[in-house]
Amino acid sequence: MMYHQDDFRIEQLGACTIQSPLTPLLDYRQYSINYVEESDRILVDNTASALSANWNPDEPLGGLEPAGARRKIFFEPSKTRAAIVTCGGLCPGLNNVIRSVVNELTRRYGIQMVYGFCNGYQGLVERHERPVHEMTPEFVENIHEHGGTVLGSSRGQQDPAEVVDRLVAMEIGILMVIGGDGTIRGALSIADEIKRRGLDIAVIGIPKTIDNDIMFTDQSFGFQTALSEGTSVVRAAHVEACGAPQGVGLVKLMGRHSGFIACYASLASNDANFVLIPEVPFRLDGDHGLLASLKRRLDQCGNAVIVVAEGAGQNLMDQQQQTDASGNQRLSDVGIWLKQQIENHFAQQQWELNLKYIDPSYVIRSVPANPYDSVFCTRLAHNAVHAAMSGRTRMVVSRWHTRFVHVPMSLAIRDRNCVDPNGDLWMTVLESTGQPPRMC
């Protein structure tokens, strides 16, 4: 996909004229490579070939704006109120993000009032009568030790006009939104309404997707924890498969449109023999289909492990004509369907089969973040607060090429980050599993 430099432009509410309370922390790193130079940019593609192709000596190099603390900020801390909301499905690390946002706003920037709206965007609409918490450092002190979100969540958008009415009534200047692509779309509509009214309210997103499918994101928070938990499940499936003649362990992992968790969990355990993801079509029948390939594996080794992402094989099943509250099409359950297809096929052929099916999705979503994700959540949260205090808006904070960056909301949701069927990750999966390159 081609991009223009204007695609990466980050909107600001106005000039930054207020000395940041973080100035003493910034002074000592004046000459550090981590110092945020306003004119600097993080290249979208850091390969030499891409740089040569796009090089124009008469124009500055384009790319993503680097994240980080600025010496001058837009909001006066003593006069600013902030709010946090979590939306969509659960994901490891939500409480870590909430805690770090609250602590950075209050302890570092001196914000006196931070509100926590409960149950997603419903909490931002007064008629739903959801609780509103005053988020103090004491309130969030231990929440990172638990899974889920202390604010609760919900799916679906609300009327942006009603949301902005609530923000104005409560004199909120900063809204921190934590959620996936549907949540970001909702945040963008809220920001549009704010802009239409000419208000100085910053809307900053912290992208949350266990599927790792947000654009311009090296890795989303919670992914490492999900990978770790998913790896344990794949290993358990391998033990079950080896414990019975003609044993098959079938594991369904998260991934509506992107098969990253299925790929990485399979590689981490190195026990999977077949990995099925939404990006790579497969079929059941035929000499090169899954069923024939599975039979050959069982004849040779006596056991097999299949890992399937929830969005795989949807074209093979009856499609549901329904959507969830976020507007996503409801998927057919590929795990249950695949289990039935395999068992029926082997029964018809009168072949022995011992299949164990495991679906750990909601168990994985609800666990606390592991140490890696805990650190990552803290760094994302801090950079989101820095962006908000500098008056930036309509953007999400992310990490790209190992650097924290600002990504316009419209760009983050323009497309979806997916496993490249021609890329090195899928090649590594094929090498590790030994499955046929094409099962269609």
pLDDT tens track, the chain, 440 positions: 566 778 899 999 999 999 999 988 877 655 544 456 777 888 887 777 766 666 566 666 668 999 999 999 999 999 999 999 999 999 999 999 999 999 999 999 999 999 999 999 999 999 999 999 999 999 999 999 999 999 999 988 899 999 999 999 999 999 999 999 899 999 999 999 999 999 999 999 999 988 888 888 888 999 999 999 999 999 999 999 999 999 999 999 999 999 999 999 999 999 999 999 999 999 999 998 999 999 999 999 999 999 999 999 999 987 766 666 556 677 889 999 999 999 999 999 999 999 999 999 989 999 999 999 999 999 999 999 999 999 999 999 999 988 999 999 999 998 888 999 999 999 999 999 999 988 87
Q: Do domains 5-220+369-412 and 224-366+421-433 have the same CATH topology?
A: yes
> Which one-letter DSSP state was computed for residue 118?
S
Contact 328, 156 (CB under 8 A): no
Rounded Cα distance, 288 and 271, in Å: 21
Separation of alpha carbons 30 and 251, rounded Å: 50
211 is catalytic: yes
> CA torsion 410→415→418→424, rounded to 10°?
-90
133 pairs with which residues across the strands? 116
Listed residue (65, 69, 76, 63) closest to 17, CA to CA? 76
The residues spanned by each domain of the chain are 5-220+369-412, 224-366+421-433
CATH superfamily, with its number, for domain 224-366+421-433: Phosphofructokinase domain (3.40.50.460)
- Measure the CA–CA gap between 120 and 179, rounded to whole angstroms: 9
81-86 and 174-179 strand pairing: parallel
- The pTM (predicted TM-score) of the whole model is 0.91
DSSP string of 7-24, one letter each residue: GGPPEESS---EEPTTHH
Q: Does domain 5-220+369-412 have CATH number 3.40.50.450?
A: yes
Q: Is residue 78 within 8 Å of residue 55, measured between CB atoms?
A: no
What is the CB neighbour count within 10 angstroms for residue 31? 6
Could you give the CA distance from residue 134 to residue 141 in angstroms, rounded to a whole number? 13
- Residue 301 identity (one-letter amino acid): C
Contact 42, 406 (CB under 8 A): no
Annotated catalytic residue, options 181, 200, 211, 415 = 211
10 Å Cβ neighbour count for 350?
6
